Structure 1
């Protein structure tokens, strides 16, 4: 299930400018993360709806299982440092 994905997971969908921006910013960091296209993964889409008041609001990012809806790069990196310290944080 989508909720069981470990580490940092970025849920996104094609055509989303906010997703494109965050994904580009994260690619320039040393952070290791997994990207999940919610249009290709129904369980991931359901997970995003469960944490975004029934909406498929992306990007949604989980860090050590804690979800953030439409976070900034800084919020993601702060969460990584707080929740999952280690390489790339």
Structure 2
């Protein structure tokens, strides 16, 4: 029967536990979409201006049934272009 150093054994166990207990990477957040009203509120403009920009192609959107959804990244792009 061999004797081992308890401190060395504890250090080895701690190293193995630390190597195997890594936290999983957080899942990426799904892209956020806004309704026309939410986009208008965020940009502090009227709904009609949002619809005008959608028609002219200045603002991208996705149509889901009768709803028009605007990616939050599009609203952020307009804000950054204005600054």
Choose 1 or 2 for highest CA Rg. 2
Global fold match (TM > 0.5): no
So what's the TM-score if we normalise by structure 2? 0.30
Q: Normalising by structure 1, what TM-score?
A: 0.29
